[in-house]
Structure 1
Amino acid sequence: MKYYPSGKLPITPHMYFIYGDGGTGKTSLFRKFPGHKMLFSFDQSTNPIRPDDNIDALVFEQSDGPNIRKLVERSTAKAIDGGKYQAICFDCVNALHDWVLDNTVASNDGRANYRDMQMWFRKFGTYLRESGMTVYATAHQADQKDGTGFEPAMNFGAFSGFTASFDFVGRIYKQGGVRTINCDTEQGDHGKNRIDDRLEFPADELLDPSTEEKEGN
């Protein structure tokens, strides 16, 4: 617990979560983040990363599944505590989600497995917020059950717990060859923007807000 008097709240780096179809450029967006970066890949899709992007990568493999929680926690802490990275990316969090669920200790009540997974994602998301690191995470999309829009291909409790402290959640899509990010919940997709007032904008402008940041941020 920390107390901050009025006007003394620290400014913390932003955390972004982008989901969408495969091939929409989720991974390549990380190249636009400034500084030396670290990519944690959970689907081995690293082809969008180029040698001159200043990105180190840690690629998780199937054999890592049984120990995925500890491996992710330890490697993330090492990257953050080392002080050499200005941003970290968790690429294809839905694959991490599946690994965590598959390797959750089985119980007679399947709901307990989901609660355990949801709690882990919530704690991990909170840890990332408290780390003071710029964070970028991606996931594939799935149709919402009511057919009104799209959502990350994850258990909703795990997704909402993980992104509770994220500043931005949006869906990336391509139309007419143009990549666009939408975070307008009124259009049916899951999204939020605590950084500025934009609801839809070109994907390449994710880090370049065209409006003033929201008051209080």
Structure 2
Amino acid sequence: MLNIKKATDIKETKGTYLIYGPPGMGKTSSFKFLPGKTLVLDVDRTSKVLRETKNIDIAEIDNIKTWEHWEETILDLEENYKGKYDNICVDNISELERCLLSDLGSKGKNLGVPSQGNYQQMQFRLVNSLRYMKNLGSNIIMTAWETTDLYTTADGQQFNRSYPQLNGKILNNISGLCDVVGKLAINKDGERGFILAPTNSYFAKNQLDDRLHCLQSELIIDGTKIEELPGEANK
């Protein structure tokens, strides 16, 4: 039987975020601004920038025997940590993708090179992992490196486009499961922030509120306080 409820009865729920930018831009440092208690799943070993941040716990993901360890991590989160953290961060999913493939390739017969089947295994594991994590009762924040390509619109115009570095066959799937995809950038005043509105040049989206961009410190906010944000962050 369908469990039907009125849209007006939907209460505020946790969101799923994918933030991306070049290495060293400040993706990991963004975790310092997250409200509440945060767990960082450290894949690329950049969590040292979070030292002395009191509300953050860090768990290192095995970046060699990643296939089994990542599965164990997801199951452990579901069984023992559901609802215990306000935010769970994967840092970063681009490196996690490569680690999973490298581990699978090392088990094969092609001198460490992943097979086509390994790519398919990786794709399903990452997408299914995100589905599991969306049920943990936490904000899910994933970082990714940035890559670019030449994008052609339907009318033949070409643009250099920035987007998260993910396998092309799961980019839309991962992004589709996220409420927010934000590109980390630096504005003219030297402040770091996120582009939340899609353009021909930037892969982005925001399904949680009406903001087109926000400061780094305002990625996750109380939805009732958006009107109170200063300056450009509220436009």
8 Å CA contact retained: 1:183, 1:191: yes
Q: CA deviation at 1:78?
A: 4.9
Q: CA deviation at 1:167?
A: 0.9
Match of 1:174 in 2: 186
1:164 matched to 2:169 = no
* Shift of residue 91, structure 1, vs aligned partner: 0.9
For each residue in 1:139-174, what CA deviation from the matched residue of structure 2 results, as whole angstroms up to 9, or x when unmatched?
Answer: 111112546211112102233323322210011022
Deviations 1:28-50 (A, max 9, x none): 11111222211101011012213
Report SS of the residue matched to 1:186.
Answer: coil
C-alpha spacing 1:187/1:200, structure 2 compared with 1 (3 Å): farther
Q: What is the Cα deviation at residue 107 of structure 1?
A: 9.3
The 4+ residue runs of structure 1 with deviation greater than 6 A are none
Question: Which of the residues 184, 190, 198 maps onto 2:211?
Answer: 198
Q: Cα RMSD between the aligned structures?
A: 2.8
Question: Is the CA contact 1:173–1:181 (under 8 Å) kept in the aligned structure 2?
Answer: yes
Pair 1:12-2:24 in alignment: no
What is the identity, as a one-letter code, of the residue corresponding to 1:173?
A
After superposing the two structures, state which structure 1 stretch, 168-177 or 105-114, moved more: 105-114
After superposition, the Cα gap between the structure-2 partners of 1:67 and 1:199, relative to the gap in structure 1 and judged at 3 Å, is same
CA distance in 2, matches of 1:75, 1:15: 19
Q: Is the 8 A contact 1:122 1:162 kept in 2?
A: yes
User: 2:125 aligns to what?
Assistant: 120
TM-score for both structures, normalised by structure 1: 0.83
Range moving further from structure 2, 201-210 or 47-56: 201-210
Partner Cα distance (2:42, 2:3) in 1:
36
Q: Distance in 2 between matches of 1:156 and 1:20?
A: 17
SS in 1 for 2:123: helix
Structure 1 unpaired stretches of 5+: 213-217
Higher mean C-alpha deviation, range 37-46 or range 4-13: 4-13
When normalised by structure 2's length, the TM-score is 0.77
Which residue in 2 is equivalent to 1:39? Answer: 40
Q: Secondary structure at the match of 1:5?
A: coil
What secondary structure, in the 3-state scheme, does the structure 2 residue paired with 1:30 have? helix
Aligned to 2:166: 154
Which stretch has the larger CA shift, 178-187 or 25-34?
178-187
1:215 is aligned to none
1:180-207 alpha-carbon deviations (Å, 9 max, x no partner): 2112222422111001122223222212
Identity %: 25
In structure 2, how many angstroms separate the alpha carbons of the residues matched to 1:53 and 1:33?
A: 12
Residues 64 and 99 in structure 2, CA contact (< 8 A), matched pair in contact too: no
Whichever of the two has the greater Rg, that structure is 2
Structure 2 counterpart SS, 1:99: helix
Task: Classify the secondary structure of the residue corresponding to 2:210.
Answer: coil
